[in-house]
Amino acid sequence: MYVMFLLMGASLMASLIFLGAYIWSVRSGQFDDKYTPSVRILFDDKKKSKKSDTENDSGINEEEKK
Partner 1 sequence: MAIKFDQYKTGHSDIEKSESLNCFHCGDPCPDKSIAVGDKIFCCHGCKTVYEILNSNELCEYYDIENTPGVSPKKDLVSERFAYLDDELIQEQVLEFSGTNVNKVTFHTPAMHCASCIWLLEKLHDMDRRILSSTVNFPRKEVSISYAINEMKLSGAAALISSLGYEPLINLDTVGKREQSSAEKKLYLKIGLAGFAFGNVMILSFPEYLSRVGDVDPVFKMVFGYLSLVLSLPVLLFSSRDYYSSAWAGIKSRTVNIDVPITLGIGMLFLRSAWEILSQTGAGYLDSFTGLVFFLLIGRIFQQKTYDVLSFERDYKSFFPLSVTRKINNVEAIVPVSKLLPGDRIVVRNQELIPADSVLLKTGTMIDYSFVSGESEPVSKDAGDFIYAGGRQVGPTIELEVIKEPSQSYLTKLWNNDVFNKPRFSRLNKTVNQVSHYFTLAVVGIALAASLYWLQFDTRMAIRVFTAVLIVACPCALALSSPFALGTALRIFGRKGFYVKNTEAVEALSKVNTIIMDKTGTLTKSQQETIEFSGARLSREEQQKIKSLVKHSTHPLSRKIFQALDTTATLPVTDFEELSGKGVQGIIGGDKIKIGSGSWLGMPVEEIDIEDMKTRVYLHINGQIKGSFLIASIYREGLRPMLAKLFKQFRLILLSGDTEREKATLVNLFGQEEDLHFRQTPEDKLNFVISTQKGDTHVLMVGDGLNDAGALRASEVGIAVTDDVSAFSPASDAILRGENLHLLPTFIKMSKATMSVISASFIISILYNVVGIGFAVSGMLSPLVSAILMPASSISVVAFTTFSTSMRARMMGLS
Give the footprint of partner 1 on this chain (CB under 8 A): 1, 4-5, 8, 12, 15, 18-19, 22-23, 26-27, 29, 31-36, 39-40, 42-44, 46, 48, 51, 54-56, 58-59, 62-63, 66
Least distance from partner 1 to the Cβ atom of residue 55, Å: 6
CB of 26 vs partner 1, minimal distance in Å? 5
Cα–Cα distance measured from residue 43 to residue 46, given in angstroms and rounded to the nearest whole number: 9
Distance of CA 54 to the CA centre of its chain: 29
Alpha-carbon distances of 32 from 24, 35, 41, rounded to whole Å: 13, 9, 17
